[in-house]
Amino acid sequence: MEAGNLLGFIPLSQPPQRLVHSRRLSSFPSFVTVKASISSQGGSGYRGPKPRRELIADWVSKNDDLVRSLPIYVGGLSLLAVLFNRTASGIAPVADASSSQSRADLLTLGLAVTNILNGLVWLSIRPKTISVVNPNGVECQRIASNLPDFVISELLWAWDSLSDVTCCRSLVIVYDGKCILQIGFAAASSSNGSEAVAVDTNKLIEGSLYQGALKSASQSYLANLSLYPGKSELPFLPSYTQAVILQPLADKGIAIIGGDTIRGFTSSDQAWITLIGEKLDATLTKVI
């Protein structure tokens, strides 16, 4: 059973119908299941800045073989340049210790050979290839039903930004003891394979991951989720989730972000998620 009562399906292109109009909400008794595409919201949602990718790092990762071979090319060209220089200048091919040109050529040859050896080492030692692993689960888009329009817009903006820019494939937000957002991929229910596993907030809050994140008041990054025994506290995430970020929302909640790549969240991604967490906390504090 999903937490709370399902109030039906609503398209994101229309504002959700609500029965509660109070600006101050003490609890969230139900969820709205949303199956429309988030992009259909058009220009009605919040549109803020998004982090930029590291272009140089992306180019290096996409041209790994060329970058590793580059020292060999540089060293080889240096050797040819030294030989051409000695031939064109008419210097005897035998090194003469009393000649400044010979000493410079020997130093250049040493640097060229060092470059070649360095390139050979780079080619022989390669890190393990990390590829994207598609999560195994069902798509789930649930939002607490009695949230104001501007809060729903803010939550969907956060998901849209994270899923577009980072390797995020799952997002769960628990605030004030209630799950107000579960979106993206989720684990399939054992009783009904087409339904997603609901977030058990009581068990989650009692777990060490939640308590540790709130106590530290700082972001916790599980770069390789399979190595952490605490992953059993996140049964609602789809199988094959590779990495997880636990972002505290002040001392009242947490955002759980699941990724599809081991160590897939870069340092700029983590900083961006921290700012998003602060913004969400400031928005949720107005209504909770």
Name the residue among 135, 152, 136, 147 with its Cα closest to residue 36.
152
Where is average pLDDT lowest: 42-46, 112-116, 175-179?
42-46
For the ranges 9-23, 49-63, 115-129, the maximum mean pLDDT occurs at: 115-129
Q: Would you place residue 186 in the very low, low, confident or very high pLDDT band (cuts 50, 70, 90)?
A: very high
Encoded amino acid at 124, one letter? S
Check residues 254 and 65 and name the one with the higher pLDDT: 254
The fraction of the chain above a pLDDT of 70, given in percent, is 79
Give the residue from 228, 287, 215, 227 showing the smallest Cα distance to 254: 215
The single-letter DSSP state of residue 31 is: E
pTM: 0.63
Angle at which helices 64-89 and 55-62 cross, to 10°: 80
> Which pLDDT belongs to residue 25?
36
What's phi and psi for 135, nearest 5 deg?
-65, 145
Topology (CATH level 3) of domain 138-285? Beta-Lactamase (3.30.450)
Task: Kindly give the interhelix angle for 100-124 and 64-89, rounded to the nearest 10 degrees.
Answer: 160
